[in-house]
Chain A
Amino acid sequence: MGIEKAKSGAPAAGHHDPDAQYLASLLGEAGALGGLPPIPGVAGSGGLTNAVDWVVGWARANSLWPLVFGTSCCAIEMMATGASHNDWARFGLEVARASPRQADLIILAGTIVEKMGSRLITLYEQMPGPKYVIAMGACTISGGPFYYDSYSVVKGADRLIPVDVYVPGCPPRPEALLFGVMKLQELIRKGAWRNSLTPRPINHSPIKDEMSETARLWEEKEKLKQEGMKEAQERFKAENPDFKGVVIKRIAAPKFDEVARTVRPARGVPAADMLAILTERFPALTVQNVPEANAEKIAALGPEYVLDVAVGREDYLPFITFLKEDARLRLDFLIELTAVDWKDRFDVVVHLQSMEKGHKLFIRCALPHDVHPEIPSLSELYSGANWHEREAYDFFGIRFAGHPDLRRLFLDDDFPGHPLRKDFEDPSRVVKRPY
């Protein structure tokens, strides 16, 4: 796209130094180079203004100060580009500014999500012109690996701000980024945007349905391709009547033997003993997938088995309080708290571990499939549960009674619905996988 543009705009001479060509054109016929017209009404302005333009373009191209901006994986490769091995300082890029006011270039290193979109626009607007944007990596070009099924990723940063150069890769190597920078320098030197102080349009709403349009274009192209192929095939057949077909030889995949899995016994209190301790206090609890569980049945599940119990909503808080405080169990470490949407009910899943003894216990609690089912909060017991519960609220809409600060954690407050529910549909955001 951007790189393509740079190539097609370049003079036909090929790989000559654009600066040298430019200078030669200045010394020869004034204003001979296309795209740089003389000032209207000022006689002989072509060569002079071109010379000034050349100097300014040269300065701008060689002094690109990037903004310190990296959202995810690509940022590491961007840093690697700045590090000793690749050293973008050679191109005058090492003055990375943390303040957008002093930056000339945003390297969009990493996925842009909807929540970040408005911030990105702000950053872009805060930069003084002329300003340039390099979209680094697949995510900022098109959404990349997060194109399908993702409800939050902006499918291409150029939906928000104008992008000058696209550097593909996931993540692109430092060399690729340097190449992208050199392409940008080329564009700037050629004066691609003479009046670059005028801001180019910013798109404030990244959400739009362009799938139908894309599909239509795709189909058209496919049709053309098919027709062309058909023609070529017929021609080929006519020219080579003896051709029988291509023999494809595949390299045989290496053959591997089956290997038995080594089973490591679970640490700490054995599952059967744990069940005994628990049923003694909470006789109503059941073990997941093991009806009418008893010590023998649990022991038969193997030494690796971690006890996975289901409790009722009334027992939930007392049960976990007991687990944390009982001296035999001491399940004091909350690994995670999440939920599963079973379409007819929600399971709140809690994974606990004992730091002293090392055993784990998985707990689940079924909730009705309401808009906002409610369950007691664990944040009094485990400070870490605070965020886990906010996450579950965000993703599933489960309310946690007694939570000190129940707000959405990841998504914007005005995000419609709870995305990890199975009935979540948002065609304006989600592009469904076509296969």
Chain B
Amino acid sequence: MATEQGYALPPGFSLRETRADGSQEYFLNMGPQHPSTHGVLKLVVRLDGETVIEVVPHLGFIHRAIEKMGENETFVQYIHLTDRMDYLSSHINNLCVCLAIEKAMGIGVPERGEYIRVMVSELQRIQSHLLWWGAFGMDLGAVSAFLYGFKEREKITALFEELCGARLTMNFFRPGGSNADVPENFLARVKEILEELKFSLDEFEVLLTKNPIIRERTLGVGALSRERAINYGCSGPVGRASGIDFDVRKHDPYSVYDRFQFDVPLGKNGDCYDRYMVRMQEMRESIRILAQAMAGFPEGQYRSKEKASYKVPAGSYYANVETARGLYATYMVSDNSFKPYRIKSRSPNFSNLSAINEMSRGGKIADLVAILSTLDLIIPDIDR
């Protein structure tokens, strides 16, 4: 069985000879349809009993050719395609494309527009982490957690719907600000949501964080050292759990993130528990940012003067943001036209997932599930 469903397995990836005691290694196909791969990721796992020896991910089951399509759409039209990559950070993805266009064309953003961007991005981060928390619980067998996470997330989704008419694929930000102003009761709604969220987060801590089974299943599982994490290009909560002190909001600030006081939670061992804790703390930090943004929310215009056309001067432009999953970058090449010559999105999940073999080696199948869960994968973001 050197090949498997027509896929050449990597060199050296074949069944070992039967050992002296008569036992043999075997392959297990996880995915593309598997409840814990969170989409259509396929992992070919080489197992010795239940112990994982090697994991080879197979990608492309949701490769939708977004980059090729981008070459045939205008720069502003590309924004809506980024919604469909990391759909849990769609606002932040949109922001990244807008930042690149603004950089290329020298478009400024008014104060109110910047505050809207920061607040909406942070709300998005919280709702993404809430969904992750629920999915994490479900992957580890605590199904109720999934619904608790969704219950909280639904409030933020409803707010987004009021804001831009969509619950998931927002397409809200534009070069120079946003598509529309915030609704009148926006601040009051955010305040209400945050009050409830603080209470729920405390509950979540009791339900999962302090649960001995969770601790036993995550502590020391799937550890990734700082050096290896950097080498793999891991970013976001995965990188920070390994101790990489890197958060684009802090270390390469965009929008008005440099005005807010917030900490970047860091882990030590880079195991599942650290990744879990980093995300839990990140939600509280986001609440902190939101509280500050609400206090200083300015009046005025939410968008700068619209350009007659978005013809980007020739050259290559790069912008990066911190999505809920890490460093997201847009690299666009223009040949002085309305459409990008080449547009590329750097997705954080792509690099984070590439470390999975190293993380899960030597663990059990159940550990692999915990690792996949704490990587917080969005497969369409990897495949694009």
Contacts and interface: CB of A to CB of B under 8 A. Distances in A.
Contacts of B61: 71, 113, 115-116, 119
Interface SS of chain A? loop
A355 B33 contact: no
A386 B39 CA distance: 23
A274 interface: no
A111 interface: yes
Contact of B108 (A77, A151, A261, A395): A261
Contact of A80 (B109, B157, B251, B316): B157
Interface in A407-435: 407-413, 419-420, 433
Interface string A128-162: 00000000000000000110111111000000000
Contact of A336 (B108, B176, B329): B329
Contact of B10 (A77, A83, A262, A405): A405
A70 B355 contact: no
Contacts of B252: 267, 358
A2 B70 CA distance: 32
Interface string B201-245: 000000000000000000000000000101111100000000011
Contacts of A73: 83-84, 87, 168-169, 380
A116 B35 CA distance: 16
A68 B80 CA distance: 27
A355 to B, nearest CB: 5
Nearest to A114: B63
A71 B154 CA distance: 21
Given A68-B33, A148-B69, A387 B354 contact: yes
Interface in B171-210: 176-177
Contacts of B320: 335
B63 A115 contact: yes
B246 interface: yes
A145 B81 contact: yes
Interface in A98-124: 98, 100, 110-111, 113, 115-116, 119, 123
B84 A72 contact: yes
Contacts of A100: 33
A383 B355 contact: yes
A66 to B, nearest CB: 12
B87 to A, nearest CB: 4
Interface string A361-375: 010000000000000
Interface in A381-406: 382-384, 386-388, 395, 404-405
Given A69-B33, A258-B304, A387-B354, A336 B331 contact: yes
Contacts of A386: 354
A71 B69 CA distance: 19
Contacts, number: 232
Contacts of A411: 60, 63
A408 B10 CA distance: 11
A419 B318 contact: no
Contacts of B244: 355
Contacts of A119: 32-33, 40, 61
B147 interface: yes
B35 A98 contact: yes
B62 A113 contact: yes
B69 A358 contact: no
A171 B146 CA distance: 21
B131 interface: yes
A387 B350 contact: yes
B331 A338 contact: yes
A256 B301 contact: yes
A406 to B, nearest CB: 10
B249 to A, nearest CB: 12
A261 B154 contact: no
Interface string B7-24: 110110000000000000
> Looking at B11, B35, B88, which has the most chain A CB atoms within 10 Å of its CB?
B35
Nearest to A173: B167
A127 B8 CA distance: 28
Contacts of B65: 146, 149-153, 419
Contact of B59 (A258, A382, A410): A410
A254 B35 CA distance: 48
B341 interface: yes
Contact of B303 (A69, A71, A79, A256): A256
A259 interface: yes
A271 interface: no
Interface in A251-265: 254-262, 264
Contacts of A116: 32, 40, 61-62
Interface stretch (B99-107, B278-286, B360-368): B99-107
Nearest to A357: B251
Contacts of B169: 73, 170-171
Contacts of B355: 383-384
A158 B69 CA distance: 23
B262 interface: no
B351 interface: yes
A340 interface: yes
A261 B379 CA distance: 35
Contacts of A358: 251-252
30 contacts: A71-B61, A77-B167, A79-B150, A110-B39, A113-B60, A113-B63, A115-B61, A116-B62, A119-B40, A149-B65, A150-B64, A150-B68, A256-B305, A257-B110, A258-B108, A259-B176, A259-B305, A261-B102, A261-B106, A264-B254, A267-B252, A334-B351, A360-B318, A383-B354, A384-B231, A387-B351, A404-B11, A408-B60, A410-B383, A420-B68
Given A259-B107, A335-B346, A411-B60, 9 more contacts: A83-B150, A145-B80, A304-B103, A336-B329, A340-B341, A358-B252, A386-B354, A413-B6, A420-B67
Q: Which 8 A-B pairs have the closest CB atoms?
A: A384-B233, A83-B150, A410-B60, A259-B108, A259-B304, A261-B108, A410-B63, A336-B346
Interface of B: 6-8, 10-11, 32-35, 39-40, 59-69, 71-73, 80-81, 83-84, 87-88, 102-103, 106-110, 131, 146-147, 150-151, 154, 157, 167-169, 176-177, 228, 230-234, 244-246, 251-254, 258, 301, 303-306, 315-316, 318, 320, 327, 329, 331, 333, 341-342, 344, 346, 350-351, 354-355, 358, 379-380, 383
